[in-house]
Structure 1
Amino acid sequence: MRRQRLILTVLCAVSWLPMQAQETGVKVEKNVMVPMHDGVKLATDVYLPEGRTEKLPVVLTRTPYNKDGAKSYGEYFAKHGYVFVAQDTRGRYASEGVWHWMTDDGVDGTDCAAWIAAQPWANGKIGMVGTSYVGGTQHAMALAKVPELTTVIPVDAVSNMGLQSMRNAGAFEMRFWNWIMLNAGKGSNAALNPATQVELKEMADHRWDYLSLLPLRPGCTPLKLAPEYEDWLIQAMRHGKDDDFWAQNNILADPKRYKDMPVYLVGGWYDSWAGNTSANFQALSKALKSDVYLIMGPWIHGAQNKSAHGQVEFGAEAAIADQLAWRKEWFDHWMKGLDNSVGKAAPFAKKVRIFVMGTGDGSKTKDGLLNHGGQWRDEDEWPLARAKVTPFYLHPEGVLSDGKPKLEVAAQSYAFDPKNPVPTLGGNISSGDGIMQQGAWDQRGNDKFWNWTKPIPLSARNDVLVFQTAPLAEDTEVTGEMEVKLWISSSAVDTDFTAKLVDVYPPSADWPHGFDLNLTDGIMRARFRDSLKEEKLMQPGKVYPITIKLYPTSNVFKKGHRIRVDISSSNFPRFDVNPNTGEPLQQHRRTVIATNTVHHDREHPSQIVLPVVGR
C-alpha cells in the first residue's frame, strides 16, 4: 500500500485539500490527491502566487521522477503570474496505481487537466514543460487532444518509440534497460518495502555484471521484485516490430491526431531523441495550422544550459543559461497574449534555430577539452532546402569519395563476435548513467569507458571498417538528415550493421594523435531491412541492400579535416548485441561469430549520403 493511502479517508471526499508550506510570494499546496477516471489518486503539488485572486493560466508538469524536483520551476512561474502544477505520474513516488510506460499518460493527463480547469484559480489555459519522459507526457496529452491544453514545450521528448530511440531499426537501445535497472527501486511500489528496495539497489549497483548475462528472463533476477518493471522491460526488449505495442506517442503514424496548438520542440545533436525531435517537427509543421518551432543545439540529453558535452567545448554561446526565462516568454505570448519576442528575436526569430558545430580553432581548452566551437543560425525550414544531397562512396583501401565505384568486384569482410562487441564511446545517449558516456568524444579508449579503458582507437579494431576522405581542400558544412546505404551479406541469417560519422582532426601540438570526433550514428538489424513491421531472416551469402538512418546533425568539417564513416556490427552498450543466430529477439541461449561483408563495387555502390550546404 502506498504511503499516502494512510490519509485517504480524509482526502477521498475532497478534490483540493491543502497542506500549506509558505514561500516568499508563493503558496504551495503539497500532495493534493487528484482522482483519475478509475479512482486512482495522483499526488499533485500546486504553486500559487500570493495575493492574486483572479483566474490564471497554468503551467503543468507530469513526471515519474518525483514532483518535488519541480520546486524551482513552481516558485518561478508562480512569482511571474502563473499557477504551477506538478504531478507524480501513476505508480511513481507519492501517486497511487501501477506504473506503465507512457500508456496511462494520455488519459491521466486528460483527467488532470479537467481537474485543473475546475479549480477557482485556473482560467482554462494550460501550458506544459518537461524533458525526456516528462516531455513524453506532453506529447501524450497533445495526442489525446486535451481541451484545456494551450501550448507545449517538449524537450528531448519520448515519441515514435518503435522507429528510433527505443527500438532503433529493430535494435534495442540499452539505455532503457539501464533506466529500468535504476528506477525499479526508486519511486516505485517495490521501493516502499525497505528490504525490497535494498535488493533492487544491489541489483542496480551490479548492473555491469548483468550486462554480460543478457538476455533477461522472467523471474530470474531481483527485478522480479518490481514485476511491472520486469514485465515491461522483457516485452520491450523482445518486441522489435514497429507496431501497436509502440503505438503510444507515435506522432509520425498520424500527426493530425496531435492537438492544433503552438508547439516548441527542443532537441540536441547528441540527444537520444534527436531523430524523433526533427522528424516530429517535419510532420507537425505540415499537419498543424498553429506555429511549430524547432531548436537544435550541440547538447546532450537535458543539458541545454551547458556548452561542453563529453570531451568537447562548443563555446559559451552554445548554452542557454536561463532555462526559465525563455519558457516564460513563450507562455506569456501564447497564454497571456503578450506581444513580445516570439516571432521576432532569438530563440524565436524564425521557426527553426540550429547550432552549426565545428567553427572553433581545434585547440585544447584550459579544461582539457577540444575547442570544436560553433555558432547559432536561424533558418526557415528543416531540412534545409538549399542543402545538396551528396553521396560519398566507399572504395577499397578505406577511401571515401564522391566518385562512384568502378571495380566489378570490391568488398571487405570482418568477423563479428557477439562476445566481443565494439564499445560505445559517446553518442546520442540518455539514461546511460554508469554504463555509457554521452556526447562528443575522441574515438579512442580512456578510463571513462569501462569496456575500452586503454588509449586504443576504435579504428584499430579488425571488426571496424574505416572509410575516409582525403584532407578537405575547403571547409565543408554538413547539415540535415542523413543515412548510410550499404550492400551487405553475411554468413548469418541475422546480424546487425552499424554506421558512425566522424570528423577527423589532423595531428596538432595540442592533439598529437589528432582527434576522431563522433558526430552521429545508427544501426540496422538485418531482419528488419525491408520493413520495421515484418521480420525476414537472410539467406547466408546473399547480397542485400540496407539503409542505416543516422541521427541529424550540423557540422563544419574544416579545411584539412577528413570526413569519415565507420562501419561495423555492434555499438555496445548503446544497442543490444545481435547473437547472429536468428532466434526470437532477446530469447537466445547461444551466439555465433558472423562473417559480415560490405560490398562497394560498381553494381553495389555503398555510400553515405550527406546534405552539404554551400557557402
Structure 2
Amino acid sequence: MELDKYYESKTVIMSPVRSELSAVGRGLFVAIGLLLLVASGSLASANEFVVEKNVMLPMRDGVHLATDIYRPAQNGKAVEEPLPVILSRLPYNKDGQAGAAKYYATHGYVFVAQDTRGRYNSEGEWHMLSDDGDDGVDCAAWIGKQAWSDGKIGMIGTSYFGGTQHAMALAGAPELATVIPVDAMSNMGRQSLRNGGAFELRFWNWIFLNAGRGSRAARDAGTADVLATLAEQRLAYLDQLPTRRGTTPLKLAPEYEDWLVSAMEHGINDTFWAQNNIVDAPENYKDIPVYLVSGWYDSWGGNTTANFMALNRTIKGPVYMIMGPWIHGQQAAYAHGQVNFGKQAAIADQWAWRKEWYDHWLKGVDNSVGKAAPFETRVRIFVMGTGDGRKDGNGRLRHGGFWRNENEWPLARTEYTDFYLQADGGLSEAPSPIEESVTQFQFSPDNPVPTIGGNISSGDDILVQGAWNQMGGPHIWNFQQPIPLSARKDVLVFQSEPLESDLEVTGEIEVRLFASSSAVDTDFTAKLIDVYPPSEDWPGGFDLNIGDGIIRGRFRESLQREVLMNPGEAYEFTIKLYPTSNVFKKGHRIRVDVSSSNFPRFDVNPNTGEPLNRQRMSNVAVQTIYHDADHPSRIVLPVIPPQARGAVR
C-alpha cells in the first residue's frame, strides 16, 4: 500500500520555550503563533522546529511503525537544507523523546523518534529486540531517501534503545554513521538476561510491568486494567515462581508471556540469545565510530566492557568507552543508594556532550573529540573510593573518587593478584598450606539470601539499585530487620586483615571457587565488598558492595551446554563478577561473601536438577566450600601498582 494512506500526521511549529509548557499551554501558543503567521507571514523566533507526528513507516513485511519527525525551522518553515539525523528507536513511547528532539532539532539536526514494533502507536507484534535489526535497516533506508536527510544517521538511547542501536549496527544499515549506546542491551545469554546460567529476574519484572504499558493487549481498556493489577501484585507472584504459560493474567498479553517463559526455560547461550551477541560475533558490527557508556553499578556494565574489548580488536571505529560510578541511566547523577561519589562524578548536560560527538562524526566539526574530556582518550574511567568516608548532608557515605584517562581496557599495567579463601574466614595473598579444609552451609531455596543493591535495572519495587551498606531494613522488602547480611548462616564471609596501604582494583574480576553439593544442580554466588572500619559517622562500619556474580552448577563447564553434577564431587566454578575501579583504602578490609542465592536479583535454584523454570519441587542442599592446598579457592583481583595509578601508561 502507498505510504500516504498510512499518514496520521500532525505538523506543529514550536520554540523550545513553548514546548516546555503544558498540553493546554502548548495548544494556546500554537494557535496564537499560527494567527500571527497568517497576519504577518512569519514568527518572531528563529529558533524553532517543526514536528510531524505519527508518520507510519512501512517495513519490509508490511507492518507500519509510528514515527515522529522533528525538523529545524526558521520563520515558521522547516529548513530545506539536507541535514544529518539523530534516530531513537524505543519501546517506551516516542512522545517521551520530545526533550531530546527539541534540543537536537534546534541545534542543526533532524530528530526521528520511532515506537518499535508492537509498542504504543506502532503496528505488529512485539519481540525482544529480534526484529530491531531489520526494522532499523528499513527505517534508515526510508530516512536516507528523504529530501531533509543528508544520508547520515547517528543513534541515541539508553538500555533497550541502546540495544536497538547495537541491533542496527549489527545489521549493517548503510546510512548508520555512528552510535552512542548507553547501558545498552547486548550479549543476553552471557551476563545480562541470563547470568552464569541463572535468570535475571529484573526482566521478569520488566515483562510484568510492560505487558500492560503500550502493548497491543493494553489497547483494550478492560485488559489493560487486568494487566495493571497484575503489575501491582508482583511481590505475590514472585512467591509463586516459576511463571508458567496460561496460569496467570499474563496470558492476556501472549507475546510477552511467551517470551518470558521461553527465556526462563532457555539457559544455554545459543541461537536463542543470538540477537545483539557482540562478544561472539564482533565482526558483524558495522565499522563506525562507537562511544560505549555505562557504569560500575549498571546492569549492563560487564557487557559494556566486554563489547569494548571485542569491538576494539575487530573494527577500526574508533571505539571509545566511558565508565562512571553510575546506576542505570543516571550519568547526570553523582549519588545513588547510600553512597555519594562527589559532584565531579556527574556529566551534567546529557545532550551537549553527545552533540559534541555527533558534530564531529556527522558534520565533520574539529572539536574536543580526541582532544578533551570526555573524549580525550579512548577509555575514561571513574576510580571510586578516595573520599573521606564521612556522612554527607543526606546521610550518605562519601566514598568519592576521580576521573582518569586510559588508553585501553583492561589496563596494560594490571597485576592480577590472587586472594585466597582461608579456613578461619580470612582472605590472604598466601594460599592455604592446609591439606584438607572445608566450610559447609545449607542452602534452602525457600529462604534465599536477599539482594541488597548491585548491578540492577528494571528493578522497580522489587530491587534497589547501586551502592548500599549490606544490611537489611525497611528498604529491602524480603529482609526488613536491620541486621547485617553477614549474620546469615548461609552467607560465608572471607575477609582480609586491615590493609596497610591503599589498594586500587581496576578491571575484570573472577572468583574461582572449589565446591561440591549434595544436589545435582545448584548455584554459587560471590560478592566483593569494601569493608569500612567503625568511625564516628559509621560506628558499626559500612559494608559497601562493589560487585557480584553467580554460576549455575549445570553450566560450570560452559554456557553452551548443561551438565548436571555428581553429588559430593568437588568442581572448580568460575564466577564472573562485574568490572569495577575502586580504591580499598588503608585500614579497610577486602571481603568476599560466598553463598548460593541472591534474590530477587537472580532466580532461585530449586536444587532438583529439573528442567529450568519447570520445577515443582525443591530440596535443601548441603554446600561444601574447599579452601586448602589442593583446592585453592580465590578471588583474582586486577591490582594497579601504586606507582602507576595516577597516569596513563
**Which bin holds the TM-score, normalised by the shorter protein?**
over 0.9
- Write the deviation string for residues 236-292 of structure 1: whole angstroms up to 9, x where unpaired: 001000000000000111101000000000010000011100000001011011210
For residue 353 of structure 2, give the secondary structure of its aligned residue in structure 1. helix
Which of 429, 435, 438 pairs up with 2:462?
435
Task: Please say if 1:94 is aligned against 2:124.
Answer: no
Which of 16, 31, 34 pairs up with 2:54?
31
For residue 371 of structure 2, give the secondary structure of its aligned residue in structure 1. coil
For residue 396 of structure 1, give the secondary structure of its aligned residue in structure 2. coil
For residue 89 of structure 2, give the secondary structure of its aligned residue in structure 1. strand
Task: Please say if 1:110 is aligned against 2:101.
Answer: no
Instruction: Map 1:56-455; keep pairs closer than 5 Å.
Output: 56-455=83-482
What is the CA distance between 1:453 and its match in structure 2?
A: 1.1
d(CA) in 2 for partners of 1:49 and 1:18?
Answer: 17
d(CA) in 1 for partners of 2:535 and 2:8?
Answer: 65
What is the CA distance between 1:16 and its match in structure 2?
A: 6.5
d(CA) in 2 for partners of 1:586 and 1:212?
Answer: 14
**Counterpart in the other structure of 2:22:** none
d(CA) in 2 for partners of 1:273 and 1:605?
Answer: 30
For residue 181 of structure 1, give the secondary structure of its aligned residue in structure 2. helix
TM-score (norm 2): 0.93
For residue 105 of structure 2, give the secondary structure of its aligned residue in structure 1. helix
For residue 275 of structure 1, give the secondary structure of its aligned residue in structure 2. helix
d(CA) in 2 for partners of 1:206 and 1:370?
Answer: 33
For residue 163 of structure 2, give the secondary structure of its aligned residue in structure 1. helix
Letter in 1 for 2:273: W
d(CA) in 2 for partners of 1:453 and 1:355?
Answer: 33
Identity %: 66
Alpha carbons 2:501, 2:585 under 8 Å: kept = yes
What is the CA distance between 1:15 and its match in structure 2?
A: 7.5
Letter in 2 for 1:564: R
Alpha carbons 2:390, 2:397 under 8 Å: kept = yes
d(CA) in 2 for partners of 1:239 and 1:36?
Answer: 29
Name segments (4+ residues, structure 1) moved above 2 Å.
Answer: 11-18
For residue 196 of structure 1, give the secondary structure of its aligned residue in structure 2. helix
Query: What is the count of residue pairs matched by the alignment?
Result: 606
Letter in 1 for 2:49: V
- Write the deviation string for residues 402-435 of structure 1: whole angstroms up to 9, x where unpaired: 0011000111010000000000000000000000
Instruction: For structure 1, list consecutive stretches of 5 or more residues without a partner in the other structure.
Output: 1-8
What is the CA distance between 1:12 and its match in structure 2?
A: 4.2
Letter in 2 for 1:41: H
For residue 503 of structure 1, give the secondary structure of its aligned residue in structure 2. strand
Structure 1 or 2, whichever has the larger Rg, is 2
d(CA) in 2 for partners of 1:253 and 1:187?
Answer: 33
Task: Please say if 1:506 is aligned against 2:533.
Answer: yes
d(CA) in 1 for partners of 2:369 and 2:481?
Answer: 49
- Write the deviation string for residues 524-564 of structure 1: whole angstroms up to 9, x where unpaired: 00000001011000000001011000000000000000000
Letter in 1 for 2:14: E
Instruction: Map 1:455-474; keep pairs closer than 5 Å.
Output: 455-474=482-501
d(CA) in 1 for partners of 2:509 and 2:329?
Answer: 23
Which of 564, 577, 600 pairs up with 2:591?
564
**Counterpart in the other structure of 2:512:** 485
TM-score (norm 1): 0.98
What is the CA distance between 1:14 and its match in structure 2?
A: 5.1
d(CA) in 1 for partners of 2:540 and 2:249?
Answer: 45
Instruction: For structure 2, list consecutive stretches of 5 or more residues without a partner in the other structure.
Output: 16-47, 643-649
What is the CA distance between 1:87 and its match in structure 2?
A: 0.1
What is the CA distance between 1:118 and its match in structure 2?
A: 1.0
For residue 50 of structure 1, give the secondary structure of its aligned residue in structure 2. strand
Task: Please say if 1:19 is aligned against 2:10.
Answer: yes
What is the CA distance between 1:309 and its match in structure 2?
A: 1.1
**Counterpart in the other structure of 1:496:** 523
Letter in 2 for 1:40: V
What is the CA distance between 1:13 and its match in structure 2?
A: 3.5
d(CA) in 2 for partners of 1:87 and 1:539?
Answer: 51
Letter in 1 for 2:59: M
d(CA) in 2 for partners of 1:446 and 1:342?
Answer: 45
